[in-house]
């Protein structure tokens, strides 16, 4: 159930996004509360950082949202077809992945977003801890129910990496690269990680959860000493604080467009973009799988999303899951 406050914000947001006002009378009828209760709510919203214009005989409209994540601030002016119509926002969670699984099992719709200001037990790949301090970055999980085969799901990780790289590329002076399969680097340091998890039967995906972590406003001191040479954030790279809500909206809009294209056209375009951003393509690398370690040349990615590497013996191998390091 939506609270009266959220209903009020939604009514205001709907009109304000078209630069229109909504009168106190209409609000009080729609919300079934008195005019003075509306007035009290408006004052509360202003205290929370909303800038609201009130003009007599016209009504109210929102001029600016507070710099704080919420379902409303993310939805403000978003206009997507299917992504982020349902947003679950929490101040603090163990992991948005965990919450997304619960929501998905509970029937959450395709395109539902789970997002938090802070994760106390952020999950990285291979069960690693993912640093996700309060308000410093974007910690979100997207629930998808695509009509694809289970073996195709890792392609969505690569697709997501291209989306994040392209969005970050729009920031002046930022040149992102994608480190196979799921890290985004700036100046060789990790700015973002992607964790894809899915629930599937033999030939049917029930749901996929794309976990996205982006370091936005951290200073280096936010990280333990041993990580400081390996990580970065937009703030560290640009030396300025960045608007998280805008970045989230850009990712959501781009994700919707690129995901629809991927379902329509398949993986080839993703491969091309991925290789434009690919980190150290054509260089020697070391590959560690569960049963062997070997070195070879990184050739790029295959038509199905596997990593392509040439053994020193000349044999070309497709790698689906491995730890990769460069010399």
* Interface contacts to ligand BTN, rule CB under 6 A: 95-97, 119, 122-125, 128, 130, 132, 139-141, 182-183, 193-195, 211-213
Minimum Å distance from CB 277 to ligand BTN?
16
Give the C-alpha separation, 12 to 9, whole Å.
5
Pick 62 or 194: Cβ nearer ligand BTN = 194
Minimum Å distance from CB 184 to ligand BTN?
9
Pick 139 or 207: Cβ nearer ligand BTN = 139
Minimum Å distance from CB 38 to ligand BTN?
37
Pick 9 or 322: Cβ nearer ligand BTN = 322
Residue 301 near residue 271, CB atoms below 8 Å: yes
Pick 38 or 140: Cβ nearer ligand BTN = 140
Minimum Å distance from CB 202 to ligand BTN?
27
Residue 138 near residue 214, CB atoms below 8 Å: yes
Pick 140 or 281: Cβ nearer ligand BTN = 140
Pick 243 or 323: Cβ nearer ligand BTN = 323
| C-alpha 91: how far from chain center | 16
Minimum Å distance from CB 178 to ligand BTN?
12
Minimum Å distance from CB 199 to ligand BTN?
16
Pick 59 or 122: Cβ nearer ligand BTN = 122
Residue showing the smallest CB distance to ligand BTN in the complex: 193
Minimum Å distance from CB 185 to ligand BTN?
11
């Amino acid at each position: 159930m939506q609270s009266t406050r959220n209903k009020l914000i939604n009514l205001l947001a709907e009109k304000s996004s078209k630069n229109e006002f909504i009168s106190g009378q209409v609000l009080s009828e729609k919300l079934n509360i008195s005019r003075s209760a509306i007035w009290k709510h408006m004052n509360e919203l202003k205290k929370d950082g909303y800038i609201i214009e009130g003009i007599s005989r016209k009504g109210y409209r929102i001029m600016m949202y507070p710099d704080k994540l919420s379902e409303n601030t993310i939805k403000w002016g978003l206009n997507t077809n299917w992504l982020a119509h349902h947003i679950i926002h929490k101040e603090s969670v163990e992991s948005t992945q965990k919450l997304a699984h619960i929501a998905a099992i509970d029937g959450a719709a395709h395109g539902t977003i789970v997002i938090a200001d802070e994760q106390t037990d952020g999950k990285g790949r291979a069960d690693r801890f993912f640093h996700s301090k309060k308000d410093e970055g974007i910690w979100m999980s997207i629930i998808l129910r695509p009509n694809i085969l289970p073996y195709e799901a890792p392609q969505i990780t690569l697709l997501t990496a291209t989306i994040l790289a392209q969005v970050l590329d729009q920031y002046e002076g930022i040149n992102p690269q994608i480190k196979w399969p799921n890290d985004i680097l700036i100046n060789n340091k990790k700015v973002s990680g992607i964790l894809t998890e899915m629930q599937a039967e033999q030939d049917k995906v029930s749901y996929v959860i794309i976990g996205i972590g982006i370091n936005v406003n951290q200073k280096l001191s936010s990280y333990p000493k041993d990580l400081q040479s390996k990580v970065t954030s937009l703030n560290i790279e640009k030396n300025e604080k960045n608007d998280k809500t805008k970045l989230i909206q850009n990712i959501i809009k781009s994700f919707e467009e690129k995901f629809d294209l991927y379902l329509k056209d398949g993986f080839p375009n993703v491969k091309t973009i991925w290789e434009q951003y690919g980190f150290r393509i054509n260089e020697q690398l070391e590959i560690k799988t569960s049963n062997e370690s070997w070195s070879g040349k990184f050739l790029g990615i295959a038509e199905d999303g596997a990593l392509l590497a040439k053994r020193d013996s000349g044999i070309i191998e497709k790698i689906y899951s491995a730890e990769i390091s460069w010399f």
